[in-house]
């Protein structure tokens, strides 16, 4: 049996079904299984990568050729994103190993693995209804993980997320219904080929439904009310999962649809404007936050706005810059959430003011947080510098000078609130009493890996750009997507 | 004022929705994948029930996902309502008539559920419906007998083994055939109980899984009082 993209779905599902039985015998094995699965899938992703670069892998499910059956589309873009998701998932698992001590452990690991499987499914499926199923898997697992700590705030955040998220899936489903009614097919490549036969009124309506559906999950203003609560109430590693994996999956879906199905000008302009508004409002809200995880959540929304701006410009260079930022944001924001998790744990409070002087008491965790903060602001020599630079130049070349000014302006706000926290860590007197508890090795290793990636990409950005070029091409080239997707 | 604005916006959105959905032709014969399924189901899958063939065979991958969605819903509820000490149901006193009636109906309901999912490829219904019928039977017992308990251990095993059966059936297609979830068994004679290849296997697994999951969900939601 050779490796194939369906492993990304089948293996984690099998493991998730297996865990309850294993859990009856050994708790340690339950903790190990997700790590082994993610390790295996990272290996699969890396070994499929060169094949996907030559020609997109289109895998048929159940032996029925598209458009009659479901197919998976594993092109350079999917390979790039899936590899990223698997490696970040692996790091977050490593961090969770000692961080999550609350029962029911096996349910945490099952939900964790399923949320990753669902997000991967969104990225590799070539079928629009199949994507709905994976969207459901991802979001329902995300709701439960938000309330995993079983406190009042968590329940409230999860309920909010559930209500808004249900809107997202309902709108998406309505859009799928209209598409099927108008084109008679569910295969994305087939729909793309038939999209020009659809009259304008339903087409625009479908576009709006998709935009709302994915806008909710991609945290676009004004649909992102769920995000700050969900990020701050969920266990810290899950904040990383949301920012690094879940949001990226729906951003992928939105972009794929924008380029393949609704390839007209006003769509991109709309995304650009929404991106600018999202970024400005989120960065200004982040400035006012008193709690560190809420601040990171708003910063995450702001970064999504930045990514949307770059996608909205719609040129080859800007799409590349956007994908680079997707990668950087996934890595850096995960590091920030993981570090913040232990900072909150050590200071005993979610408040920023409780972090005073923690840099002396807990030097390594604080160092990782500071490194992440400097990287996300976009200081050289970290990876965030390059992607922000590329975004700025590509947006300027696209002729959107006002957006450039606004990006720089929000960059300054971002620098202020991040540096304020870093300053508190290092230049205030130590007030914490926690000298006993240490950050466990697994947590430090997890953060260390991410920090090394940030530095490495910052010093050698061309290695990652070589991978992004074919991925961006895969996203932009509609004709190739139709050709390969329908196996012509 | 706020309410009035909300109503006006809702009316506008509703009008827009309606005007778009009214353009969708209903019940027309058109040249799309639906027609292909109707004409080729029996030949390609061996199932005389085309709905089942589409759900389990043509779009079996979606069904695997849907099974997982239900699994996550039950899992998530279990995680949120988790209590180390265990909980018990609120006191209930069903009358003698209800109790005797429930006792007589319970095995019949379970039998009907099993019939529905075993014959999923022949008659209307299938794994999801059969599983739901079984769970209603258990619910009837829950509300009639305060002391009626289901074994959580057994439910866990049924759920897990049924889920793994589905995935392994899929993987067998990858091993002995060309693709995941591909049929590797002989199709048999359409209309017989043992026909349609892997469809009955998958539907029986789904039936067990859905039945166990919904039972677990009901059990979790009915147990609201902390036991000491």
Cross-chain residue pair B72–A114, CB shorter than 8 Å: yes
Where are chain B's structural domains? 48-226
Q: Which of B27, B66, B167, B220 to mutate to test the interface with A (most CBs of A within 10 A)?
A: B167
Tell me the mean pLDDT in the region A263-289. 88
Residues 6+ positions from A179 with CB-CB distance below 8 Å? A128, A186, A191, A206
Q: Which of A1, A130, A137 is facing B69, going by the closest CB pair?
A: A137
| Helix (H/G/I), strand (E/B), else coil: A351 | strand
The set of residues, in sequence order, having a beta carbon less than 8 Å from that of A185 and lying 6+ positions away, is: A67, A191, A194, B32, B33
Please provide the average confidence, as pLDDT, over all residues in chain B.
86
Candidates B12, B16, B20, partner chain A, best to mutate (most A CBs within 10 A): B20
How far is the C-alpha of A410 from the C-alpha of A402, rounded, in Å?
12
| Phi, psi values for residue A446, rounded to 5° | -60, -50
> Which of A63, A111, A178 lies nearest to residue B182, judging by beta carbons?
A63
How many CA atoms does the CB half-sphere of B218 hold within 13 Å?
21
* Residue B40 CA from chain centroid, whole number: 25
Q: What is the pLDDT of residue A436?
A: 66
Smallest CA-to-CA distance from A451 within A108, A91, A23 is with: A91
Element (H, E) at A162: helix A152-183
Chain B residues near residue A133 by CB distance under 8 angstroms: 62, 65-66, 69
CB contact B11 to A (< 8 Å): no
Outline where B89-189 has alpha helix (H). 96-118, 127-144, 152-176
pLDDT at B124: 87
Each residue's pLDDT tens digit, A286-296:
989 889 999 99
Name chain B contacts of A107, Cβ cutoff 8 Å.
75-76, 78-79, 82
Q: Over 90: is that where the pLDDT of A349 sits?
A: no
Closest-CA distance, B91 to chain A, in angstroms, reads: 25
CA distance A384 to A461: 10
Tokens of A327: 């990668």
Residue B46 contacts A where some CB pair is shorter than 8 Å: no
Give the per-residue pLDDT at A346. Answer: 83
Angstrom distance (rounded) from CA B118 to CA B191: 13
For B5-54, write each residue's pLDDT tens digit: 999 999 998 998 888 888 877 767 666 777 888 888 888 888 888 888 88
Contacts of B58 in chain A (CB under 8 A): 62, 64, 68-69
> What mean pLDDT do residues B176-181 have?
83
Instruction: Write the CB contacts of B26 (distance below 8 Å, at least 6 apart in sequence).
Output: none
């Amino acid at each position: 049996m050779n490796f194939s993209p369906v492993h990304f779905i089948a293996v984690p599902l099998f493991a998730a079904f297996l865990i309850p039985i294993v859990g009856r015998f050994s708790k340690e094995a339950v903790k190990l299984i997700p790590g082994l699965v993610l390790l295996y899938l990272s290996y699969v992703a890396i070994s499929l990568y060169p094949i996907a670069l030559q020609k997109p892998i289109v895998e048929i499910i159940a032996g029925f050729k598209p458009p009659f059956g479901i197919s998976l589309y594993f092109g350079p873009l999917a390979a790039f994103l899936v590899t990223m998701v698997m490696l970040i998932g692996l790091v977050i698992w490593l961090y969770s190993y000692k961080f999550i001590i609350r029962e029911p452990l096996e349910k945490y690991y099952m939900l964790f693995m399923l949320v990753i499987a669902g997000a991967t499914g969104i990225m590799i499926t070539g079928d629009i209804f199949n994507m709905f199923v994976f969207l459901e898997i991802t979001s329902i697992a995300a709701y439960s993980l938000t309330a995993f700590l079983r406190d009042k705030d968590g329940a409230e955040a999860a309920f909010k997320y559930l209500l808004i998220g249900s809107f997202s899936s309902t709108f998406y489903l309505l859009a799928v219904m209209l598409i099927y009614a108008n084109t008679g097919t569910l295969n994305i490549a087939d729909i793309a080929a038939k999209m020009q036969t659809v009259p304008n009124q339903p087409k625009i309506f479908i576009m709006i439904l998709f935009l709302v559906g994915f806008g909710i999950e991609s945290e676009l203003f004004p649909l992102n009310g769920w995000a700050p609560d969900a990020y701050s109430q969920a266990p810290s590693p899950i904040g990383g999962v949301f920012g690094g994996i879940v949001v990226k999956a729906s951003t992928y879906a939105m972009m794929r649809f924008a380029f393949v199905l609704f390839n007209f000008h006003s769509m991109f302009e709309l995304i650009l404007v929404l991106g600018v508004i999202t970024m400005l409002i989120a960065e200004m809200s982040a400035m006012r936050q008193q709690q560190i995880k809420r601040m990171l959540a708003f910063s995450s929304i702001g970064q999504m706005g930045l990514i949307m701006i770059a996608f909205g410009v719609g040129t080859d260079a800007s799409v590349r810059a956007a994908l680079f930022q997707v990668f950087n944001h996934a890595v850096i924001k995960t590091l920030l959430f993981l570090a913040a998790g232990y900072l909150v744990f050590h200071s005993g409070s979610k408040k920023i003011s409780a972090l005073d002087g923690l840099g002396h008491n807990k030097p390594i965790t604080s160092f990782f947080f500071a490194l992440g903060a400097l990287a996300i602001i976009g200081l050289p020599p970290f990876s965030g510098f390059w992607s922000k630079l590329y975004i700025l130049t590509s947006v300027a070349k696209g002729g959107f000078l006002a957006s450039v000014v606004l990006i720089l302006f929000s960059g300054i706000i971002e620098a202020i609130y991040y540096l304020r926290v870093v300053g508190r860590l290092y230049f205030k007197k130590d007030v914490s009493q926690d000298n006993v508890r240490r950050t466990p090795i697994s947590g430090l290793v997890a953060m260390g890996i991410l920090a090394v990636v940030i530095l490495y990409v910052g010093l050698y950005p061309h290695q990652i750009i070589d991978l992004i070029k074919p991925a961006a091409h895969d996203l932009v080239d509609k004709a190739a997507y139709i050709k390969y997707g329908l196996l012509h | 004022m706020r309410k009035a604005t909300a109503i006006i916006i809702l009316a506008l959105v509703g009008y827009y929705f309606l005007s778009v959905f009214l353009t969708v032709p209903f019940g027309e014969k058109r040249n799309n994948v639906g027609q292909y399924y109707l004409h080729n189901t029996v030949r390609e899958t061996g199932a005389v029930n085309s709905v089942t063939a589409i759900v389990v065979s043509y779009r079996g991958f979606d069904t695997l996902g849907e099974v997982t969605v239900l699994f996550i819903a039950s899992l998530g509820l279990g995680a949120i309502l988790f209590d180390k000490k265990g909980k018990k149901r609120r006191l209930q006193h069903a009358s003698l008539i209800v109790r005797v009636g429930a006792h007589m109906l319970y095995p019949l309901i379970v039998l009907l559920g099993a019939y529905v999912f075993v014959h999923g490829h022949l008659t209307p219904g299938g794994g999801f419906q059969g599983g739901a019928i079984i769970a209603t039977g258990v619910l009837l017992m829950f509300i009639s007998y305060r002391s009626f308990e289901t074994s959580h251990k057994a439910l866990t095993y049924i759920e897990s083994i049924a889920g793994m059966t589905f995935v392994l059936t899929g993987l067998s297609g990858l091993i002995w055939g060309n693709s995941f979830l591909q049929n590797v068994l002989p199709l048999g004679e359409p209309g017989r109980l043992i026909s349609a290849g892997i469809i009955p296997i998958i539907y029986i697994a789904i039936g067990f899984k859905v039945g166990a999951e919904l039972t677990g969900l009901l059990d979790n939601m009915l147990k609201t009082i902390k036991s000491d």
